[in-house]
Amino acid sequence: MLASKAGQVLALLERSMSQSTMSQSTRLQSARSQQITQCSRLLPGLLFLVLMYHGAAVSGGRLDAQEVTAAEAVRALEALTVDTIARTEKSVVAIARVRKDASGQRRQATVDPLSPDFVPNEFATGVVVDKGGLVLTNYHVLGDISQNDYFVWIQRRPFTASVHRMEKVMAVDPWTDLAVLKVAATDLVPMPLGDSSLLKKGMVVIALGNPYGIARQGEVSASWGIVSNLARKAARRPRPVGGGSGAAESLHELGTLIQTDARLNLGTSGGALVNLRGQMIGLTSSLAALRGYEVSAGFAIPVDATFRRVLADLKAGRRPDFGFLGVQATELSRFDRQRGRRGALVEQVLAGTPAAAAGLRRGDVITRVNQQPVHDSDGLFREIGRQPALAEVALQVLREPLKKQIPRRFDLTATLSKKYVTAVAAELVQDHPVPWRGLQIEFSTALGVPDLAEQSQRIPLDRCVGVLSVVPQSPAWKAGLRAGDFILRVEDKKVDRPALFRRLVDSRQGPVELELANQRTVVIQAE
């Protein structure tokens, strides 16, 4: 019913536009024809949406409200698009990256970045997320912060921008490819956030960004399109020879990205993908900076519950954490898939991990996580990787019986540990935990050791914490502790998470005895 009404409106549009071009030259007819062709892929559903937006109702196979001509529908759509861009573009900024030489001075010194004549070689986009000068962008656009300066152009009035040198990076997260920068600016307009979970294929979106660095003049560029897909995977980056397993380095390699046919050129990474309500529902990533060339499809990181949680942490200067279950999983056999089965097949359960504590076994098939369907191993790790550490997750499991009987389906609950995420430079995070006597403690599963499966066979990972780092010549260093050690007890108290360790040691004065997993005991003297 709705599609047929939208088709009627589209037919009116095409008839009206064709009539308006009859008296024009062949060249103008061709141009109008191209316009109609370009619009036709968007307008069947969009024009009906616009009519509803302006109060028209459809019932009984007719437009009950006053008949709306095609030209009026197009004008209404145009007005809505213009209004949406005008309300949101003031929250989108241009970012330039300027490389330093070995002495720490800018290499690109022919024109000062603060000059209106400056043209950056490396550029990206950002979105204002706090009126006090916080700007959100993609982590990958920063590169090596020790080798670059960063400048941000903020729109003040049309065709004029104020440029600010970045004060600092508040925090970054490689797992979600997000970063928050701080600039010396006030009274900015934060971007309203929407909810990507409400998106459907075919919905109209507008992309705002800084293609090829042109937004430094004060005006970002806009393009529009539809939502093409809601679960695209980012291409996995090439691993060096001997550089570890093929495990995902980013959540988006597991299938989280919004795909849009809105044009996203080089430099639009970190821009805003907004709906027609003027809300950001995705942070754009052209991926050209990652691949080194333009790609036909555009992608955006969805503004969902995970995005909001990560953004809150980054704005506060903290690195977010993510869940770890403790299984190695693979795909079901082709025979099982042909029978209609879906899920992630558990190949190995690491001892001392949440998976082992929950009762998972080798050969189990995980079909749901928190009621979200799991179709393959990527789906399992995606749903787990969205959760914070210590989150409780409900797992739906299919288990083959010992004898040839019908597989049993049941539910398990697991309390997640913490996932290891690629380490970043200290200057990329503002909120640093204060070491205790030179000792930084982490979840045992988050140390990034390459042989965690082997470690789990000889170390009770669920009953210890790991040593992340030790300050040289500190009391912990002098006692013999080193990064990668595992601590079982503080005095006679078992410790299984960093918060508990810190609570126990902070309550003690003088020397503190620690029992390690390798059967050593060390005494940490007071500073």
Q: Is the pLDDT of residue 22 over 80?
A: no
Q: Is residue 239 part of a domain?
A: no
One-letter-per-residue 3-state SS of 316-384: CCCCCCCEECCEEEECCCHHHHHCCCCCEEEEEECCCCHHHHHCCCCCCEEEEECCEECCCHHHHHHHH
Of the pLDDT bands very low, low, confident and very high (cuts 50, 70, 90), residue 60 is very low
- Please state, in angstroms and rounded to a whole number, the distance separating the CA atoms of residues 40 and 51: 17
Q: Which of 118-122, 234-238, 273-277, 395-399 has the lowest mean pLDDT?
A: 234-238
More confident residue, 445 or 213: 445
Q: Are residues 261 and 194 in the same domain?
A: yes
Q: What pLDDT does 68 receive?
A: 64
Q: Are residues 291 and 414 in the same domain?
A: no
Q: Is the pLDDT of residue 170 over 50?
A: yes
Q: Is residue 424 part of a domain?
A: no
Q: Is the pLDDT of residue 17 over 60?
A: no
54 is catalytic: no
Percent of the chain at pLDDT > 70 equals 77
Q: Is the pLDDT of residue 35 over 90?
A: no
Rounded mean pLDDT of 21-38?
Answer: 44
More confident residue, 4 or 100: 100
Q: What pLDDT does 497 receive?
A: 94
Task: List Cβ<8 Å contacts ≥24 apart for 371-378.
Answer: 373/342, 374/342, 374/343, 374/344, 375/342, 375/343, 376/331, 376/332, 376/342, 376/343, 376/344, 377/329, 377/330, 377/331, 377/344, 377/345, 378/233, 378/248, 378/254, 378/255
Q: Is residue 243 part of a domain?
A: no
Catalytic residue among 91, 223, 250, 269: 269
- Looking at 39, 68, 97, the residue that finishes a domain is 68
Q: Is the pLDDT of residue 243 over 60?
A: no
Q: Are residues 192 and 315 in the same domain?
A: yes
More confident residue, 523 or 120: 523
Q: What pLDDT does 102 receive?
A: 61
432 is catalytic: no
Query: In the numeric block, which tokens belong to residue 364?
Result: 């189990």
Q: Is residue 425 part of a domain?
A: no
Q: Is the pLDDT of residue 322 over 90?
A: yes
More confident residue, 31 or 375: 375
The identity of residue 74, as a single letter, is: V
Q: Is the pLDDT of residue 15 over 80?
A: no
Rounded mean pLDDT of 342-371?
Answer: 95
Q: Are residues 385 and 308 in the same domain?
A: no
Q: What pLDDT does 47 receive?
A: 54
Q: Are residues 308 and 378 in the same domain?
A: no
Supply the CATH number for residue 120's domain.
2.40.10.120
Q: Is the pLDDT of residue 10 over 70?
A: no
Mean pLDDT of the chain: 83
Q: Are residues 82 and 229 in the same domain?
A: yes
- Looking at 395, 418, 441, the residue that finishes a domain is 418
Q: Are residues 472 and 510 in the same domain?
A: yes
Q: What pLDDT does 13 receive?
A: 45
Q: What pLDDT does 67 receive?
A: 59
Q: Is residue 423 part of a domain?
A: no
For residue 155, the enclosing domain spans 78-234+251-320
Q: Are residues 389 and 496 in the same domain?
A: no
Q: Are residues 167 and 200 in the same domain?
A: yes
- Please state, in angstroms and rounded to a whole number, the distance separating the CA atoms of residues 293 and 299: 15
One-letter-per-residue 3-state SS of 116-129: CCCCCCEEEEEEEE
Q: Is the pLDDT of residue 325 over 60?
A: yes
Q: Are residues 169 and 122 in the same domain?
A: yes
Q: Are residues 124 and 267 in the same domain?
A: yes
Identify the CA nearest to 267 among candidates 128, 122, 147, 135: 122
Q: What pLDDT does 107 receive?
A: 53
Q: What pLDDT does 100 receive?
A: 78
Catalytic residue among 173, 177, 261, 321: 177
Q: Are residues 465 and 505 in the same domain?
A: yes
Q: Is residue 145 part of a domain?
A: yes
Q: What are phi and psi of 102, to 5 degrees?
A: -60, -25
- Looking at 418, 444, 470, the residue that finishes a domain is 418
Question: Other C-beta atoms within 10 Å of 80: how many?
Answer: 19
269 is catalytic: yes
Q: Is residue 246 part of a domain?
A: no
Q: Is residue 212 part of a domain?
A: yes
Supply the CATH number for residue 351's domain.
2.30.42.10
How many domains does the chain contain in total? 4
Residues 6+ apart with CB under 8 A from 240: none
pLDDT in tens, 266-295: 888 999 999 999 999 999 986 644 555 555
Of the pLDDT bands very low, low, confident and very high (cuts 50, 70, 90), residue 204 is very high
